[in-house]
Amino acid sequence: MSAGMKRAFSFTAIVLGYFMALLDTTIINIALPEMTRHFGGTVSQISWVMNSYNLAFAVFILIASRLADQFGRKKVFLIGIILFTLASLFAGFSTNLGTLIALRVLQGLAGAIIVPITIPLTTTTFPKEMHGAIIGIWGAIAGLAAACGPSLGGIITEKLNWQWIFFVNVPLGLLSLILTIFFIKESKDESAGKMIDYAGMFGITGAMFFITYALIKVKDFGWDSSFIFILFTSGLLFLLFFLLTQWKGKAPMLPLSLLRIKAFDGAALTLLVVGAALSNIAILTSFFLTKVMGMTELKAGLILSILAVGSIVSSAVSGPLSNKYGSRLFGAIGVTLIIISTYSLSGLDIHSTVMEVLLRLGAAGIGVGFTMAPVMSSAIRNVPEDKVGISSGVINMTKALGSVLGVAIIVTVLQQNITNQLESARIHAIQTVEQNAKFAPFVKDLLKTTINASGNKEPSGSSGRSGTENIAVIISAQAEVTAAKLSLEQKSAFVASVKDQIQEAERLMPQVNNEIKQSLSKAYSTTFIFASYLLLPGILFALMSDRRRKMGAGVKLSPVVKDAAGD
């Protein structure tokens, strides 16, 4: 078998594992309502099917990278594939929510093993002159996983059942396992030694657990909660302890010399911003499509897939070009395009077309592709060759942390904007009812009660109904109660007047519904604008993510160590 064919099989094994681990971060979301119906429980409880994976992933990713560097990347990668495949199989057979969540923790740990190791496995499989192109393809695979997640999850849930969301990983895992055993060579960081940094593991585990858990729970408790303050404080104390162990320890898992490389720091911070941007766009747009535009979850998922389609195309192009021209300009252009696209999403309203949404999401996806592959390539190119493994762990950890941080911030801002806008719409609707001379007092009371009940919360479900459409039924029911207390002569006149008032209510309440939806649209619009401003530092970070070089001058792929902080 030729060397090229062996590399192709090796790369297939790597991307299958990578695809499987990334797919499970997005495919699960659309099946959560179905899982709620199957297991019961509250939305908060079922959300831990998603949160448990993210928490375990963030906590273990740096440790997994270090252990792979020390004891063999192929060996640790195989452990991750086996654990992920088995956890997926048993998750599909879960009989209760607690078991499913526990298995999702195992999946998260396995995903933390698989994802960061794919980069060093890839760079040791291919010659240096091919790294840019291969990282571009690697980035395209990431986009494909993100693209398949919402749509594949929706199709599987609708046509089969939620269990098959986990079962689909089994053949992927088995194929990756077989190809890894036969075609991937073992590699490790020869300078890492065999001494395990237990203190460092304890420090980074505590830091990532408390910080990530705080970001997950902040939407329930609020940023000013003493509980959240304690969690963040604990996380920072563990982080300080971790840094101290890395500074003083004999065999630190994270060489602090990496943090003195300006390009590496810029790449890590850029991916922190990109992680936040992806989660912000996905969450805000999915809620906007279902809550405001009234789409089904499946249709919204299919539309969101265009985000990743744009990323696939631009990753395949920008990866190879960044080797020739450098990554900093590609990253800066990509982040700028993400910011502009996020801001442009604020222009959507309840009357927007699907094409208007697709164009904005597609542009954002192109921006992600222009950023991810070049910046990831730069992070590898600008560190010592034997530190690629731990470097991959750091930048993947920052991207995961950025995703959780983005959700925590944007959900808080969105909830506040929705509260403000709906309250304004509710007050205006109450005033409109009060000023309407056609309504009898009891009808006004009914309308105000209905508006108060529906006007202080956003519509639920894909229909986007606010609860005011059934007002005629409500008025008729109350009118029957009132009419029963009247004489026949009074009842006849009363019933005639009620018909007129129902007609007036049916004329008025669609306007109220429309105002509520418009207020929701304004809330999302304001949040999209805030999200775009939040991403602005990413442009500066992207410009830091590589050395300045002349266009077309070419790039030497030898490790950049000396004077990296001053480049």
Map 471-528 to HEC letters. Answer: HHHHHHHHHHHHHCCCCHHHHHHHHHHHHHHHHHHHHHHHHHHHHHHHHHHHHHHHHH
Q: Please state, in angstroms and as integers, the Cα–Cα distance from residue 184 to each residue in 75, 387, 428, following that order.
A: 10, 19, 66
- CATH superfamily of the 254-548 domain: MFS general substrate transporter like domains (1.20.1250.20)
Q: What letter does residue 263 receive in the DSSP assignment?
A: H
Helices and strands, number each (H, E), in the chain: 20, 0
CB 11 within 8 A of CB 122: yes
More confident residue, 131 or 78: 78
Query: What's the distance, CA 437 to chain centroid?
Result: 50
Q: Please state, in angstroms and as integers, the Cα–Cα distance from residue 54 to each residue in 100, 334, 399, following that order.
A: 14, 26, 12
Cβ-defined contacts of 121-126 (< 8 Å, 24+): 121/10, 121/14, 121/73, 121/74, 121/77, 121/184, 121/187, 122/11, 122/14, 123/380, 123/388, 124/73, 124/185, 124/187, 125/7, 125/10, 125/11, 125/14, 125/184, 125/185, 126/7, 126/11
Does residue 57 register a pLDDT over 80?
yes
Region 442-469 average pLDDT:
57
More confident residue, 539 or 63: 539
What per-residue confidence (pLDDT) applies to 132?
Answer: 67
Among 314-323, 357-366, 389-398, 438-447, name the most confident range.
357-366
Does residue 97 register a pLDDT over 60?
yes
Q: Which CATH class is domain 1-192?
A: mainly alpha
Measured CA to CA, the distance from residue 56 to residue 464 in angstroms comes to 34
Measured CA to CA, the distance from residue 161 to residue 36 in angstroms comes to 13
CB 244 within 8 A of CB 367: no
Choose the weakest-confidence range: 273-277, 345-349, 504-508: 504-508
418-436: pLDDT as tens digits:
888 877 777 777 777 777 7
Q: How many CB atoms lie within 10 A of CB 442?
A: 15
Q: Binning pLDDT at 50, 70 and 90, where does residue 325 land?
A: confident
What per-residue confidence (pLDDT) applies to 472?
Answer: 57
Q: DSSP of 59-83, one letter per residue?
A: HHHHHHHHHHHHH-HHHHHHHHHHH
Q: What letter does residue 251 receive in the DSSP assignment?
A: S
Tokens of 360: 């904005």
Does residue 563 register a pLDDT over 80?
no
Query: What's the distance, CA 534 to chain centroid?
Result: 16
Does residue 261 register a pLDDT over 90?
no
Mention every residue, 6+ apart, whose C-beta is less than 8 A from residue 193: 70, 251
Q: Binning pLDDT at 50, 70 and 90, where does residue 495 land?
A: low
What per-residue confidence (pLDDT) applies to 345?
Answer: 94
Domains 1-192 and 254-548 share a fold: yes
Query: Domain-by-domain residue ranges, the chain?
Result: 1-192, 254-548
pTM metric for this prediction:
0.77
Does residue 336 register a pLDDT over 60?
yes
Mention every residue, 6+ apart, whose C-beta is less than 8 A from residue 178: none
Average pLDDT, the chain: 79
What per-residue confidence (pLDDT) applies to 557?
Answer: 39
Region 99-109 average pLDDT:
92
CB 59 within 8 A of CB 112: yes
What per-residue confidence (pLDDT) applies to 404?
Answer: 79
Q: Binning pLDDT at 50, 70 and 90, where does residue 227 land?
A: very high
Region 80-86 average pLDDT:
95
